[in-house]
Structure 1
Amino acid sequence: MPRITFHKNGQVFEDEVKSGANLVVRAGIKQYPYPHLVYECGMGKCAKCACKVLSGGELLPPPNWKEKKQLGARLDEGFRLACQLWLEHDLELEQIPESI
């Protein structure tokens, strides 16, 4: 089971999720990382769930067209949309309030 480390506002939250989990779906049903993850549409249209990948990004699939459209140059800074990631490996993310 992937171990997810989530950083927000100087705090660190950690938990394990089932393989194939999506953090926005989990937050929507009030599981980890709820209530810490900011999100809105869950479909890659708003970019509210944008997070900077601190570690484990090399194991993620390449960004899809929704991430490319919403994040643009921020992809090069290591940002991804949490709603577009189905997790199979350990991952460390940071949601930066200014990036939302």
Structure 2
Amino acid sequence: MPIVVFHRNGEVHRGEVKENTNLVVRAGIKQFPYPHLRYECGMGKCSKCACLVLGGAEHLPPPNWKEKKQLGERLAQGYRLACQLWIEHDIELVQGDLEAA
């Protein structure tokens, strides 16, 4: 099962998830990474769930049209929308800490 390492506000949260898991769906039903993940619509319209991928990006599918529209140039910096990702492999994400850097 994939391991998710999630950084936010100087804290590191680690959890195991089933394959083909969406982190925003899990947070919505109060499972890991709830309450640490910032999200809102869950449909790729608001970009509140944008995360910088620190590790595991090579296992992700290419960005879809929603990510391209919402993230634009930030895609090249390694950002993805958590609501559009279905986790199949270990991944490390950050919200907040490194986003301004």
TM-score class, shorter-chain normalisation, is over 0.9
Tell me, yes or no, if structure 1 residue 61 matches structure 2 residue 61: yes
**Structure 2: distance between partners of 1:59 and 1:98:** 21
How far, CA to CA, are the matches of 1:31 and 1:61 in structure 2?
24
Partner of 2:5: 5
Over the aligned positions, Cα root-mean-square deviation in angstroms equals 1.2
- Runs of 4+ displaced beyond 2 Å: none
The structural deviation recorded for 1:2 is 0.5
| In structure 2, C-alpha distance between the alignment counterparts of 1:34 and 1:81, rounded to whole Å | 16
* Structure 1 unaligned regions, length at least 5: none
Q: Secondary structure at the match of 1:80?
A: strand
Number of the residue aligned with 2:49: 49
TM-score under structure 1 length normalisation: 0.96
Partner SS state of residue 53, structure 2: strand
Secondary structure at 1:71 match in 2? helix
Contact 2:53–2:94 (8 Å) recurs in 1: yes
Summarize the alignment of residues 8-87 of structure 1 with structure 2, pairs less than 5 Å apart: 8-87=8-87
Give the secondary structure class of the aligned counterpart of 2:47. Answer: coil
Report the CA distance between 1:96 and its aligned residue.
1.6
Q: CA deviation at 1:98?
A: 8.6
Q: Note the alpha carbon deviations across 1:38-85, whole angstroms, 9 max, x for none.
A: 100000000000000000001100000000000000001100000000
Identity %: 71
Unmatched 5+ stretches in structure 2? none
**How far apart, in 2, do the equivalents of 1:45 and 1:7 lie?**
23
Separation (CA, whole Å) in 2 of partners of 1:93 and 1:39: 14
Aligned-pair CA distance for 1:93: 0.1
